[in-house]
Amino acid sequence: MTLPAPASAPAAPPAPGSAPAGPVPGQPGGAVVPAAGPGAGPVPVRRALRVRTVPGWIRLLAGLAVAAVLLVFAAVGLAVGHAREGLRVIGHTAGPQVVTTADLYFALSDMDAQVAALLLTGRESGLGPGRQTMLDRYDERRSQADRAVLQAADLAGGDASAQATVQAVLDGLGRYERLAARALLLDERSGHPAGPPPQAVLDVYRQATDLMRLDLLPKAYNLTLDSGTIVRRAYLAELSSVQQGRLWVGVAGGLALAVLITLQVFLSRRFRRTLNLPALAATVVVAALTVAAAVVLQHESNVLRDAKEDGFNSVLALSRARAIGNTLHGDESRYLLDPQRADTYEQVYLDKSQAVLYVEAGNLDKYYAALDQRISGNKIDFLGLFGTEAAGGLSLPGQFPAFRSVLTGYQEFQRSDRRLRQLATSGARRAAVSEAMGPAFASYDDALVKLTALHRKALDAAVRDGDAALGGWNWLPPAAALAAILLVLVGVRPRLAEYR
């Protein structure tokens, strides 16, 4: 006897929140796909997050390679941009403007020195370069000061404080010129011999020189310090960015090479081919771009450092030393010109001399002796602006003999100053005036100009070297990145075509 088949148990109801199982169109035999559980997401999302096919892996690796190449391009572009900006600031815009601003101090001090020399020599001939030569030099320095003020105004930009200082210098310069012109006119009418002029002339000149020494020169010096701060901050920021950029280029390049090598290995193993030549070429392009960028960025870091330390810093310090030296020469004339203030001018002279080359001394006689002893020795261990120059190592070609010439010239200038004061104390005023107008200061100043020119040459050479090294780097990174991306796409396209 045949037993009836047992009735099938009723299907359990679907769990709340889940879709019922059912036949899926396209599945053979009406296969049923199990219903998704409560925690499962939509099917398209899960499929996007899970790469199960070979074409999917190819597309994923190719996309990662393209993204990594773009990352290398971005890192190289940013780092090169910072290097170019650093060179622009130091060598083409703010740096030259700062040096010009430093020349403002020199031009102003030389204007006052020429006026003092004109008043000191009076109508006598045969003393110094001559009255007309000194007048021409005064006019030249006035034009130089006007240009430097305009440069300072341009560098100040939107800085309200700096703009106010520039305007104050400009206004004060106008007042000084009027007072100096009046003093020279009164002096010409007096026709006095070499030595102190009449009291009326001296009173007007005191107003002019006080305005220059106590107002204009300090403001000009502050402009130089502020402008130098602008360059220093820009230099530190750009140098740091270039060095960090070099690191990021290395990281991005390493990541791109890792992805490209992974793509190469996957294609070689999956398709049983030794190498994928386009992918290999893309790897070579990225490696070359990374190494070349790292080398160029290291070179630019060195160039920025050389331009700042061997060029800009020394040019600025020596320009300040020359300006202060010029005021020293003017103080000699003022010492002879105004006996009532002689003690004041002598102390000011000592203070400025210590700023140029510092040796421990409480008065001028001790300074002369200590200076002779220090310069005559072979060891350069003094302080001051010349000490700053020596601390740089004197490594530039020709720098050491040029610096020794400056020191020797400075020593001779100080010896001349000692003779001048001895003559003035003994009552030989005309001989003292002749000593003040002598060649000692001009020789020292010429040596200082030559040393400064050496550093200017080093600055210009460093900037040119940096600019030349960056030549072509505005188009090379995008061209290399585009070539690498196209090679990746060309390399994977035939492999994807096999699955169509």
463 in Cβ contact with 87 (< 8 Å): yes
Q: What is the pLDDT of residue 316?
A: 86
pLDDT in tens, the chain (500 residues): 344 444 444 444 444 444 444 444 444 444 444 444 444 445 454 454 466 788 888 889 999 999 999 999 999 999 999 999 988 888 887 788 777 777 888 889 889 999 998 888 877 666 666 778 888 999 998 888 888 888 777 766 667 777 888 888 888 889 999 999 999 999 888 777 777 888 999 999 999 999 998 999 888 888 777 777 878 888 889 889 999 999 999 999 999 999 999 998 988 887 776 788 999 999 999 999 999 999 999 999 999 998 888 888 888 888 889 989 989 998 998 999 888 898 999 999 999 999 999 988 889 999 999 998 888 766 677 788 888 888 777 788 888 899 999 999 999 999 999 999 999 888 888 888 888 888 899 999 999 999 999 999 989 899 999 999 998 899 999 999 999 999 999 988 888 777 76
417 in Cβ contact with 437 (< 8 Å): no
What residues does 358 pair with on adjacent strands?
Answer: 383
- Establish if 30 belongs to a structural domain: no
Structure-token match 């193993």, residue found:
269
- Establish if 47 belongs to a structural domain: no
- Establish if 133 belongs to a structural domain: yes
Q: What is the pLDDT of residue 31?
A: 44
Q: What is the pLDDT of residue 161?
A: 77
Q: What is the pLDDT of residue 92?
A: 83
* Residue 344 vs residues 137, 205, 338, 363, 475: alpha-carbon distances, Å: 27, 16, 10, 12, 63
d(CA 88, CA 93): 6
- Establish if 16 belongs to a structural domain: no
Q: Which amino acid is at 73?
A: F
Q: What is the pLDDT of residue 446?
A: 94
Q: What is the pLDDT of residue 272?
A: 72
- Establish if 91 belongs to a structural domain: yes
Residues in contact with 106: Cβ distance below 8 Å, sequence separation at least 6, in sequence order: 319, 322, 323, 326
Q: What is the pLDDT of residue 197?
A: 86
450 in Cβ contact with 402 (< 8 Å): yes
Domain that holds residue 465: 53-387+395-497
Q: What is the pLDDT of residue 22?
A: 46
- Establish if 9 belongs to a structural domain: no
Q: What is the pLDDT of residue 69?
A: 94
Q: What is the pTM of this model?
A: 0.77
- Establish if 348 belongs to a structural domain: yes
Task: Quickly list DSSP for 27-93.
Answer: SGGG-EEPPP-TT---HHHHHHH---SHHHHHHHHHHHHHHHHHHHHHHHHHHHHHHHHHHIIIIIS
* Dihedral sign, Cα of residue 49, residue 50, residue 56, residue 60: positive
- Establish if 126 belongs to a structural domain: yes
Residue 341 carries which DSSP code?
Answer: G
Q: What is the pLDDT of residue 374?
A: 85
Residue 383 phi, psi dihedral angles, 5° rounding? -110, -165
Q: What is the pLDDT of residue 500?
A: 67
